[in-house]
A and B are shown apart, each in its own frame.
Chain A
Amino acid sequence: MTNVLVSGAVKRFGRTRALDGASFEAGPGITGLLGPNGAGKTTLLRVLATVMSLNEGEIRVFGRDPAGHRDRLEIRRRLGYMPQEPGFHKNFTAFEFVDYVAILKEMTHRRTRHDEVHRVLVAVGLEGAQSKKIKALSGGMRRRVALAQALLGEPELLILDEPTAGLDPEQRLRFRETMSHLGADHSIVLSTHQTEDVAALCSRVVVMNHGRNLFSGTPRDLAELARGAVWLSEERAHGARLSYRTGEGRYRNIGTAPDGADQVDPTVEDGYLTLLGDEAFVEAA
C-alpha cells in the first residue's frame, strides 16, 4: 500500500530548479531520502507535507492530489511534519508549544488536547522537561519537541526533515530507538545526509542530487552498488578515488580495485559515495 507517489516533480525558484524531474514512492515502514546539502530533499519533503506546490509533475498522498482544496485538507489531517528548522514562539515552554500546534491541528477540547500533548512528549522522552522554556533546552531536546508536535494525532504519515541533524551520537541512538518504535505503526519518510541513519533505520532509500533521483531501492541494494570496488590496504592507494585511514590503521579505498586486492563487503556509505561520483569525492577529500 503506497502512501506517497511522486513522479516527474519539477519545482522552480526563480531560475534554479530545486526539483528537476524527481520521483519518490513510500509505503509502510521507514523510507529514507538521502542526498547532500542542496540536493532538493527539503523541497521534496515540503511538497509532500503540502506546504509547497509543484510547478510540474504528479503527486499523490494517500491517493489524493494536494492541489485540490478539500483533498489538501484531508491529507493534512493525516500527516505530521517536522521541518528542518522549526521556529518556536519566544517564551513558550515545550508543553505550550506542542499545545499550540495541537490547537492548529484542530484539537479544541482542552482536556483531550492536554492528554495528547502529554502523550507525545512522553513518546519523545521529554516528560520531565515539558515545563521548561524552549530557549532553555539543548539543541537535541528542541529537535525532540519538534518531533513531538509531528506526532500529534497519531498521523498515518510522518515527514521528518533531517531529524538527526546536530544530534550527538547518544541522542542519535535514542532517536533511532524512538523511530523504530514508531516505524511499526506509521509510515515514515525522513531525510538525512548520514548514511548510518539509513543503514540503521530504513527499509527503503531514495538517493537524490541536483533535484533528481540517483537511486531507489533497499539499503542493501545501495551498498551492493559498490561491490567489488572497496578494498583495504596497508598504504594509501593512490589510484583510488577515495582512500582514508581507518581506526585499525589500514586504509579503506573506493574505486577501481587492483587485482588481488583485499576486498571487503561494501557498506551503505560506500554505495552512496560511489553513486554520487566525483562530486562526493571532492567533498570527502
Chain B
Amino acid sequence: MGPGEEHSDQELLRAISDGAHAALRELYERHAPWLLLRLQRRSPDPQLAEEAVQDTFVAVWRTSATFSGRGEVAAWIWGIGIRRLIDRMRRTQRFEPLPEGRADVVVSAEDQVLLGVEFGDLAGALSRLSPELRAVVQATVLDGLTTKEAAQLLGIPSGTVKTRMLRARAQLRGELA
C-alpha cells in the first residue's frame, strides 16, 4: 500500500486478509470512533463498550476474508461490534436495563426539517413510542439483531421482545397510516 493513496474500505479489507497490519490500523482509525460512540449508547458500562471495540477489530483481523463484498464495510463492522458487545455483557452477567427516557431536546428548526425529510413522520411516531418499545425497535430494526440477540442485549426474555415488537409495529402503523 503506498502512502498518500486513498484506499476504499473494501481494499483495506483485502490487504488485511493478506496480513497487512497497516491496513487494519487505517480501518481502525476510520471506524473505531463512531463504533465506540454507538456502542457506548447501548452498553451499561463504558468499559464494556471499549472492550467490545477491541474485540471487534481483532475479529476483523481474523475474519476479514468472510466479508461478502456486498454492502458497506461499516455495516459489516457494526454487525460484528454489536455482537461482541453482547458477548461481553453476557460474560460479565450484566442484565440491567439500559438507561431510558432521555428528556427531549430542543432541536433546531433546520435539523427538524432535515430529519423530517429523512424519515418523514417516522421521527415523531418513534418519539411517541414508550422507551421499552423503542428499545426493541432500535435493537431489531436499526441494529439488525435477531430476536434472541436483542433479548440478550436488553436483558429481557425473547418472548417479551416479540410481543413488544408487535405492539410497536401496531402503534407505528396506526400513526403513520
| A and B: interacting chains | yes
Could you mark each residue 13-35 of chain B with 1 if its beta carbon is under 8 Å from any beta carbon of chain A, else 0? 00000011110000000000000
A127 to B20, CA, bound (A): 9
Provide the residues of chain A in CB contact with B20, threshold 8 Å. Answer: 128
Could you mark each residue 180-194 of chain A with 1 if its beta carbon is under 8 Å from any beta carbon of chain B, else 0? 000000000000000
Q: Which residue of A lies closest to B1 (CB)?
A: A128
Q: Which residue of A lies closest to B18 (CB)?
A: A128
CB distance from B8 to the nearest CB of A (A): 20
CB distance from B70 to the nearest CB of A (A): 28
A131 to B19, CA, bound (A): 8
A132 within 8 A of B: yes
Provide the residues of chain B in CB contact with A131, threshold 8 Å. Answer: 19
Provide the residues of chain B in CB contact with A127, threshold 8 Å. Answer: 21-22
Binding site for A on B (CB under 8 A): 19-22
Provide the residues of chain B in CB contact with A213, threshold 8 Å. Answer: none
A130 within 8 A of B: yes
Binding site for B on A (CB under 8 A): 127-128, 130-132
A132 to B21, CA, bound (A): 12
CB distance from A128 to the nearest CB of B (A): 6
CB distance from B51 to the nearest CB of A (A): 14
Provide the residues of chain B in CB contact with A130, threshold 8 Å. Answer: 21
Provide the residues of chain B in CB contact with A128, threshold 8 Å. Answer: 19-22
A44 to B22, CA, bound (A): 41
Q: Which residue of B lies closest to A131 (CB)?
A: B19
CB distance from A121 to the nearest CB of B (A): 10
Shortest Cβ-Cβ A-B pairs, 8 listed: A131-B19, A127-B21, A128-B20, A128-B21, A128-B22, A130-B21, A132-B19, A127-B22
CB distance from A155 to the nearest CB of B (A): 26
Report which residue of B20, B21, B22 has the largest number of chain A beta carbons within 10 angstroms of its beta carbon: B21
> 7 new A-B pairs (CB below 8 Å) besides A128-B20, A131-B19?
A127-B21, A127-B22, A128-B19, A128-B21, A128-B22, A130-B21, A132-B19
A132 to B18, CA, bound (A): 11
CB distance from A9 to the nearest CB of B (A): 45
Q: Which residue of A lies closest to B23 (CB)?
A: A128
Provide the residues of chain A in CB contact with B21, threshold 8 Å. Answer: 127-128, 130
